[in-house]
Amino acid sequence: MTDFPNSQRLYQEALEFIPGGVNSPVRAWQAVGLTPRFIVRGAGPHVYDVDHHRYLDYVASWGPLILGHAPPAVVAAIIETTAQGTSFGATTPAEGELAQLLIQAVPSLEMVRLVNSGTEACMSALRLARAATGRFRVIKFDGCYHGHADPFLVAAGSGVLTQGIPGSPGVPPEIARLTLSLPYNDLDAVHQTFKEYPGEIAAIIVEPVAGNMGVVPPANGFLAGLRELCTQEGSLLIFDEVITGFRIAWGGAQALYGVHPDLTCLGKIIGGGLPVGAFGGRRDLMQQLAPIGPVYQAGTLAGNPIAVAAGRAALSVLGDPESYDTLEKKGAWLAAALAQNAQRRGVSLTINRVGSMLTLFFTAGPVRCLDDAKRSDLTRFARFFQGMLAEGVYLPPSQFEAWFISLAHTQEDLEFTAAAADRVWSRW
């Protein structure tokens, strides 16, 4: 008899109506050999499943819930705004206010456009880069995920990597050939590629801190080297900060590392976890967008009032200068405690961390690129995931994803997590 009868029943029913029973592949939990838990509620650092189990959550809706679940300021903003109407297909005053806030916070933004998702932001930024440069090739990096638009599914991370899919049927070879995927943190490979395709590369798109093959920080000089190369070659540098924006610093990775891209993509964290995204950058580039320029991009729900209100409320809390110091301390403490317990139990792993993002790779390491990450012991990861779930800790169901700490996690929560891992490893 299972302790999760309702989740199992709902999953079996969903398999009849939804491909794989899920609306995003990594939710299927195939990589960890379990039936996915159906979540019905979140509060602070916890989520609750349909079978009344409570878990300490480090998924955080894949990063954007940096304040935890259902923070009062965000909930109040959603309720107040919803009472006025859910969508108008017209411009609202709050859109401009959120745009101004983003421009003030993120160093490279001079103008910004709101969209509906991180995928849409990256897709639109690439179209703009191609139009602005008159070129069509793009460099990305193995294991980086920029959404499921056709150009980005070459050697992608996140669910593509978790499912072991090399790319995707349905992507025309002519489009795939325009994407040049290189090893992350390998600046020499980027230099060589520019030599092989002189005057053809429109842009480099990169996660400034990789988060979709697990957390992989940029090597010293890597981001600065990309910036220098793009400037020299007349290409644009696009930072995909869908994960890192407002997560690792108030101004994102570009503020943390002091490297400014031409275009930046942002995701759901600017909407308090609701469906929203944005892309922006230099004024001369953004002014090429319709209706003042020839590059078309549109969305009926772009800048919808509920997501904008939630985002303004969330960012107003994050604007406290102590927020990121607190998150850094929490991340550092948990990573150190987990490393200490693993060493004591004789468990070989590598922990990569930037701020409140971290990944435990079940390999001796170091992990600096996708090939390093793929050396992880996936069987050990699955055992660890299963053990932590039994202890009441909800982790991303993939070796190749990041844990996310929120401001709602207390020191007691972190200590519970470290102790739970120790108990799991004591049984190995």
Active site positions, annotated: 145, 240, 268
Q: What is the DSSP letter of 401?
A: S
Q: What is the DSSP letter of 140?
A: E
3-state secondary structure of 237: strand
Q: What is the DSSP letter of 83?
A: T
Q: How far apart are CA 126 and CA 285, in angstroms?
A: 12
Query: What are the tokens at 7?
Result: 């989740």
Q: How far apart are CA 41 and CA 50, in angstroms?
A: 9
Query: What are the tokens at 295?
Result: 């590059």
Q: In the 3-class helix/strand/coil scheme, how is 58-69 assigned residue by residue?
A: CCCCCCCCCCCE
Query: How does DSSP assign 313-364, residue by residue?
Result: HHHHHHTSTHHHHHHHHHHHHHHHHHHHHHHHHT---EEEEETTEEEEESSS
CA-based nearest residue to 403, from 346, 313, 327, 310: 327
Q: How far apart are CA 176 and CA 168, in angstroms?
A: 10
